[in-house]
Amino acid sequence: MKVLQRLLPRRLDRQVMLFVSLLLSLVMPFFALYEADESAERVVNSTMLQALALAENISVTSVEHIVTQDFASTEQLLLRSARFPGVQQVQVSDIDGRVIGDVFVGQAGEPVLRYQAQMIDVPSEAYPDLKQSAGLLTVWQPIVGANAVGWVRLDYSLAEAESIASQYLYDYMVDGLIMTVMLVALILLVMRRPLRVLRDAATFAGQLKNKHGEKIPIDKRSVEIEQLGMALNETSENLFEQDAVIKQALKALNTQKSAMDEHSIISITDVDGYITYANQKFVDATGFSRDELLGKKHDIVKSGFHSREFFAGMWATISMGNVWHGEILNRSKHGDEVWVNTTIVPFMDESGVPYEYVAIRTDVTNQKWVEQELAEKARSLVQMTDHLEDLVRLRTSELEQANIQLQHLNKVKSEFVSVVSHELRTPLTSIKSFSEILHDDLEELDINSQKHFLSIINDESERLGRLINDLLDLQKMDSGKMDWNDERVDMVVLLSASAELFSKAYADKGLELKLGLVDAESWVMVDVDRIKQLITNLLSNALKFTESGSATVAIVNSACEVEVSVTDTGLGIPEQEIANVFENFHQVNSSETREIGGSGLGLAICKDIVEHYSGRIWVESELARGSRFVFTLPLLENNVERSGGGCDRSSK
Amino acid sequence: MTGAQNKIVLICEDEANIRESIRYVVNKAGFESVMAVDGIEAYDKARTVHPDLILLDVGMPGMTGFDVCDRLRADADFKAVKIVVLTAYGQIADQERAAEVGADRFMVKPFSPRDLKQLLCEMLV
């Protein structure tokens, strides 16, 4: 079959030509043959008829001859008959087959008598018979008069008939051929145009891919061709339009791709993960060349940061045909670590199976770094905020404390003012009362009463005066407005002098005043008046609060300070009040002390003076046993204050 | 001096000199005087002596004058007794406190003996 196909021409018109030619070539000969055959047969038939007719003629004519035995006439007859075209030989015989006359036609065509007496085989039945063999027709015609008397045998040549037949055949063949050719030509002629249109359409269709938008002329001769033309033209138009669309789309796609290539790192892998495409950014980002990347897996940029489960999850997602988003840490060829925000899109065929994966990435190393920094900062901010909150809380409570203290101080201050005014008014009350009494009742009062009242006025005035002085001193010291005239002075000398002043008062009360001076000299830089005030207060207290026994003054030098103590054997101070004795107006209240009085400011003043020089003052006391008041002052050496060396000044 | 006319004044004051000046005025005005030197003694003597008038200094040891007044007034027997509060503290708050605890009068130190005498005569007549 294939051999046949290869032999056939491809062009339709040639196919048609071939087909028609073949068809007609096959048909025509048969037709010609058939016709020729028919004609030949007719010719033969007519020849036969002629032969029969001639034979019959001879037979009829011969009857008489035979009967009359006129053999010469028979011969003449035969001679005449033999001149008939086609006759080859003619014989007349009697009923038994004895030849009466025999003529054959020689090569020149002349009939010639033959005198061969012979017997011929005659048919058995007296009917005409026809035999045909090898181009010779043999007619047996009985000669019948009253009855069968003889035979005529006519050998008629069919050569003529046959030649006519073959002539016919030849003619018919030629005619057939001519007809075939004419038919083919006619068919081709008729089909030429449609075939050409078809061929044009086929050519056009073949060239369509290059000739979008062109049209072929529409041939309306046949519906099919018209449809074909219109379809082709429409297709051409569509293709043309599609071209434009595709161009646009391609352009847009290209723009997108360029844009993406500008922005993103892009790589494409096959289903197994081997890289089939890497854009420039990918090359740049990884540090590998394109050749180094293609055909490899993304392992090439693995950083080792992510777990196997991470990548397994990713492959699971994309191999199912889903888009995967994530951030990956990669390592470049040179070892740089790069964070990329990655989207992997599987591209799938019609059956939904992925055939390649497109990965689009952006370098977010900076952002990651910033993120981490931000997270750090946020953490430390939170810490700071917490810390801040703590601090705020702390500060708030501190402020509350301070506020409470302030309020307390305010309260203390207003109490102080209240107390001060009370303390000032008290002596004033006596002064005012007795002044008025003396004034109104002077004449009524006896001299003792007068003196007594005046003495009260005097005492209370002095009391008031002392109080005012103490208050002013305290106020000046507290507000820093006190003039401190510091000078180098030996405490030993100072103490001795002050003690001397009190010796009489002590003696009058029956008390001993002792000086226990351990060190010979204690040089300090102080205001003499203030130190005198300090010592006086202490000695005065000791005197006031001691009924019997003694008061001892002692000086001890240490590394950087001098320690002075006044010890009495007096009433002592209750334990709970020891802390408060140095407060303003504090007066120990008991039955014994109530009458002793005092401004209550003496120790407060002592404290201020001592603390002005960064010294310390304190008391050790036991009720009914006595009290020991101690203060320290910085020691001088060679006009320079000693510093350091075993002297703790921080207790203040 | 005793007699139906003699009213008793209880003087509660811890300062000796002031106490003396008040006693002088009270006696000069013709009343009898009883002394107390602290709040506790003041309260006790008030209940035992049943004075007609009590002069209460506020700033006394033991119990303040306000407390003494307050406690006395709580007692039905002492609802009627005249009480004068005496103080060197002169704030409005002190005056209000005096009124709260039921004192009849409020006097500020230093005071004028003339004024005191007039007040005593006024309240004890």
Closest-CA residue of A relative to B112 is A433
Contact state of A426 with B111 under an 8 Å Cβ cutoff? no
Residue recorded with tokens 């081709």: A188
Q: Which residues in chain A have their CB less than 8 angstroms from residue B91's CB? A: 418
Per the structure block, which two tokens stand in for A83?
């001149």
Contact B89 A418 (CB under 8 A): yes
Residue type, position A578, single letter:
I
User: Is the per-residue pLDDT at A160 higher than 80?
Assistant: no
- The rounded distance, in Å, linking the Cα atoms of A419 and A600 is 11
Identify the band that residue A592 occupies on the pLDDT scale cut at 50, 70 and 90. low
Strand-pair partners of A94: A150
| B18 contacts A426? CB cut-off 8 A | yes
| pTM of the predicted model as reported, rounded to 2 decimal places | 0.48
Whether complex ipTM tops 0.85: yes
* CA-based nearest residue in chain A for residue B14: A594
Helix ranges, A69-158 (H): 71-82
pLDDT digits (tens, 9 = 90+) for B14-64: 889 999 999 999 999 999 999 999 899 999 999 898 999 999 998 888 888
| B88/A425 CB distance under 8 A | yes
What is the C-alpha separation between A499 and A517, in angstroms, rounded? Answer: 12
Question: Which of A162-171, A321-330, A615-624 is the least confident region?
Answer: A162-171
What integer pLDDT is reported at residue A638 of this predicted model?
54
Pick from B18, B21, B110: which is nearest to A437 by CB?
A: B21
Reported confidence tier of residue A32, pLDDT bands at 50, 70, 90 = confident
Contact list in A for residue B22 (CB cut-off 8 A) is: 433
Q: Which one of A421, A433, A455 would you mutate to disrupt binding with B, by most B Cβ within 10 Å of its Cβ?
A: A433
Is A201 in contact with A216 (CB distance < 8 Å)? Answer: yes
Residues A288-305 have a mean pLDDT of: 89
> Is the pLDDT at A581 greater than 80, yes or no?
yes
Contact residues, chain A, for B110 at CB < 8 Å: 425, 428-429, 431-433
Cβ-contact A583, A607 below 8 angstroms? no
How is A290-336 classified by DSSP, letter by letter? HHHHTT--GGGGB-S-S-HHHHHHHHHHHHTT--EEEEEEEE-TTS-
Is A456 in Cβ contact with B20 (below 8 Å)? yes
Q: To the nearest whole angstrom, how far is the Cα of B94 from the nearest Cα of chain A? A: 11
Higher-confidence residue of A589 and A88: namely: A88
Neighbours of A484 (CB within 10 A): 14
**Mean pLDDT of all residues belonging to chain B:** 88
Residues of chain A contacting residue B21, judged by C-beta atoms under 8 Å apart? 429-430, 433-434, 437
Confidence at residue A593, expressed as pLDDT on a 0 to 100 scale? 59
Angle at A427 between CA A421 and CA A430, to 5 degrees: 130
> What sign has the CA pseudo-torsion A75, A77, A83, A88?
negative
Query: Which of A429, A434, A460 lies at the smallest CB-CB distance from B109?
Result: A429
More confident of the two residues A190 and A645: A190
Average of pLDDT values for A70-98?
A: 86
Report the chain A residue with the minimal C-alpha distance to residue B18: A430
On the question of pLDDT at A349 being above 80, the answer is yes
Contact A610, A649 (CB under 8 A): no
- pLDDT tens sequence across A44-68: 788 888 888 888 888 888 888 888 8
CA distance A380 to chain B (A): 55
Predicted confidence (pLDDT) at residue A572 exceeds the cutoff of 80: yes
For residue range A186-232, list pLDDT tens digits in order: 888 888 887 788 888 888 888 888 878 888 888 787 888 889 889 98
In contact, A150 and A92? CB cutoff 8 Å: yes
Band of residue A276 on the pLDDT scale cut at 50, 70, 90: very high
- pLDDT one-digit tens code per residue, A113-127: 888 778 888 888 888
The pLDDT assigned to B3 comes to 47
Backbone angles phi, psi at A579, to 5 degrees: -65, -25
Helices and strands counted in chain A (H then E): 14, 20
Interface test with A, best of B41, B58, B95, B109 (most A CBs within 10 A): B109
- Indicate the range of A227-241, A400-414, A612-626 predicted with least confidence: A400-414
A461 touches chain B (CB under 8 A): no
pLDDT of residue A596: 61
Asked if residues A571 and A596 have their Cβ atoms less than 8 Å apart, the reply is no
Give B113's contacts in chain A (Cβ within 8 Å): 433, 436-437, 440
The reply to whether residue B28 touches residue A441, judged by beta carbons under 8 angstroms, is yes
Looking at the complex, report in whole angstroms how far the Cα of residue A430 sits from the nearest Cα belonging to chain B: 5
With a cut of 90, say whether residue A88 has pLDDT above it.
no
